[in-house]
A and B are shown apart, each in its own frame.
Chain A
Amino acid sequence: MTAYTLRAKRRRSALRTAAFLSPWLIGFAVFFAYPLVSTVYFSFMKYDGFGAPTWNSTANWRYVLGSYTMFWPALRNTLWLVLVMVTCRVAFGLGVGLLITKIRTGAGVFRTLFYLPYLAPPVAATLAFVFLLNPGTGPVNSALEGMGLTAPGWFTEPGWSKPALTMLAVWGVGDLMVIFMAALLDVPKEQYEAAELDGANSWQRFRFVTLPNISPIVLFAVVTGVIQTMQYYTQPIVASKVASGIIGGSGQQFEPGYPEKSTLTLPQVVYNLGFQRFDYGSACVVALVLFALAMACTALLMRRSGGLVGAGER
């Protein structure tokens, strides 16, 4: 074979590979690389949707990180939700999955009951929670007060608003429950039998048999949960709007993050800057912060996953 035909063969092979890769390459370029580069570009520009963008140096960055009063509360809230909400959802999803795989009768009914809330539209579910937890007229607080307990303000109290949102997220944990159930049913029964013969109690069976077997699923739940929580928008904005009592009026200004910015999240801030103030440059800054944060969390989880995934195989 001559050098020429070898080169031609290699070129054809490379072209064939590129042709097979092209749908992904085009998608990656159009939906990821270009928007990312544009976002970086616009974060240094002044642009309100009219006229041409103009160079703004680092002013947008300085404004968002130094003067914009909603950024830091939104960042703190987002991190709080990532830590607490994701943990609670994973723990609750796993717990419910474990219970349902253990019960002998009525598993189908319970599975349906726990899955149903996940199908509720986020706006409807949030509205229902705000009404149920209304401190003045809600049945939950009436019941708590009836029992002589101090009823919290839930969505109207800064200290309780994020826990209330977490309750809402945990209520709709059906998606994780189904995934965990599938993983739990996949754990080889022989391993449990062997553990029992070795005298392992139920906690030890869970810790040394169940958990190592389902750890890839736990990692999946955590990583997707972190990313979803960083994009958390609908529920907090609906809850804050309804709980604040401001649903639109001639002179009323909606207060994002009610009460006291406690439900403000980074996607709300992006919306506020981009679609309400039309300060696209600053919106891009927050989008980049969100992107960097999501990347960092995912990378950290993936790196740390060695200690979690397949731990039982060591």
Chain B
Amino acid sequence: MRRNRFRLAVPVLAISVLATACVGSTETGASDDPKARATLTFWHGWTAPSEVKAIEENIARFEEKHPNITVKAVGGINDEKLNQALRAGGSKGPDVVSSFTTANVGKFCSSGAFADLGPFIEKSGLNLKKTFSKPLLDYTRFEGKRCALPLLSDAYGLYYNKDAFHKAGIEEPPRTWEEFDEVAVKLTERKGDGYEQLGFMPNYHGYETVPSHYLSQWSPTYFTKDGKSNIAKDPSFRAMYTWQRNLVKKLGGYAALEKYQKTFGDEWGAKHPFHTGQVAMQLDGEWRLGMAEATKPGFEIGVAPLPVPKDQIDSYGKGYLSGTIMGIAPASEKQNAAWELLKYMTTDTEAVVQFANAIKNVPSTRAALDSPKLKFDPRFKTFLDIARHPDSNTSDGAINGITYQMSLQNFGYEVEKGAVRDIQAGLERTAREIDTDIAQAK
């Protein structure tokens, strides 16, 4: 019996060990000399050899300009590892950190996981409004505290198979969701219970077709001024969920689409359904163009902004923006040197342009967007235009990071499979869930 009791201690022990972990420092005062010799550890999430090479080249350019600073880059870091390391603190942790999840900025800023950049920005005299567009500035701060800066950005648009369009007699990419539905149905060719070709995979498991990416086309307001969920009050949410549910029905129903989705290859591999011609249109980020062309798909790829609701046709051209963010570890003893690296990588036009050229992302600064040194496929300009569009937007940050988006996504799964009769009531329930989760995180 005692042996069994001892076995039971294992899960409890694990939890307790994490619960009693050392408390990280949240101080942001930096007294190190940025001119002194220093070695910085930079944690990032890139893993592909071409991306790692690009970041190392960027670091080499920085080290050339700052010969007193050496940077040791560590790739393949996700947000979970990052959070755990920052919470553990200690001198062996990173000095400069980055994340792909802009939605987690609220958690990074509010918890103190990332150092406050305000004093550094003030000391450097950096004019943020002149340097970055509003959505990028929005997703790198939370409740007035700026704890990150954008490092390149991602813009989302519509990819379409031009050959399939010609075959179906469609001349132009759709501009409104109503047109989009017609085009998606027209492009769909059934084969028994399945599909020979699907016009568009609307399901929320269709890789980038997540609620936040769709919702940006309605320009929603996620939270009220007092921080409460606004999803039941802003009609954008009901409109988006209703539209998506109807499109699922028009394209053959949830079960058929889910089954077809299971025949798709990996999102990041050569057998992506857009590359293979299994779907004729795809909502995706700017990176898809390079990835798709690299597989020589055998059809001409077209690129356009995502459609908008009919009553917002004036804002056609906008899209969802996100990107990589960079911050400083609060436990770093070399914060001034860390700021030099962060400032260089996020605001130096040459650094941003070179990095954007290398990994085919959208540059994050206004100057880099207009730089003549920016090399891109003519179709890539669509994404640069989306990045510049005044109505382009992003999802709001929250104190508990992506948790509220998980609630929106879970609600979406229920809606698309037909388990929700009253979308408005469901939104009200989900809003309560979001508010409770946020209250618990405060």
Contacts and interface: CB of A to CB of B under 8 A. Distances in A.
Do the two shown chains form a genuine complex with each other?
Answer: yes
Interface of A: 28, 31-32, 34-36, 38-39, 42, 47-52, 59, 63, 67-69, 134-137, 153, 156, 223-224, 227, 230-231, 244-253, 255, 260, 267, 270, 274-280, 282-284, 287-288, 290-291, 294-295, 298, 302
A69 B288 CA distance: 35
Given A39-B12, A227-B8, A50 B87 contact: yes
Interface string B255-275: 000111111101110000000
Interface in B196-242: 205, 207-208, 210, 212-213
B24 A50 contact: yes
Contacts of A282: 440
B92 interface: no
B23 A49 contact: yes
A50 B262 contact: no
Contacts of B309: none
Given A47-B19, A223-B4, A282-B440, A287 B12 contact: yes
Contact of B409 (A34, A135, A153, A255): A255
Contacts of A68: 440
Given A50-B113, A298-B8, A31 B13 contact: yes
Contacts of A227: 4, 7-8
Chain B interface: which size bin?
A: 35 or more
A208 to B, nearest CB: 28
25 contacts: A35-B13, A35-B16, A49-B21, A49-B83, A49-B111, A50-B87, A50-B113, A51-B26, A63-B440, A69-B407, A231-B11, A245-B267, A247-B266, A247-B268, A249-B208, A250-B154, A251-B208, A255-B406, A274-B15, A275-B80, A278-B83, A278-B107, A279-B441, A284-B19, A291-B11
A136 B260 contact: yes
B433 interface: yes
A42 B19 CA distance: 7
A266 to B, nearest CB: 9
A310 B403 CA distance: 52
B312 interface: no
Contacts of A260: 413
Nearest to A270: B15
B84 interface: yes
A290 B1 CA distance: 18
Contacts of A302: 1, 4
A38 B19 contact: yes
Contact of A251 (B11, B212, B259, B437): B212
Closest 9 CB pairs of A and B: A49-B87, A136-B262, A35-B16, A136-B263, A287-B15, A32-B9, A35-B13, A38-B16, A42-B19
Interface of B: 1, 4-13, 15-21, 23-24, 26, 78, 80, 83-84, 87-88, 100, 107, 111-113, 154, 156, 205, 207-208, 210, 212-213, 258-264, 266-268, 285, 320, 322, 400-403, 405-407, 409-410, 413, 433, 436-437, 440-441
Q: Which of A39, A48, A251 has the most CB of B within 10 A?
A: A251
B262 A39 contact: no
Contact of B19 (A136, A253, A280): A280
A44 B301 CA distance: 56
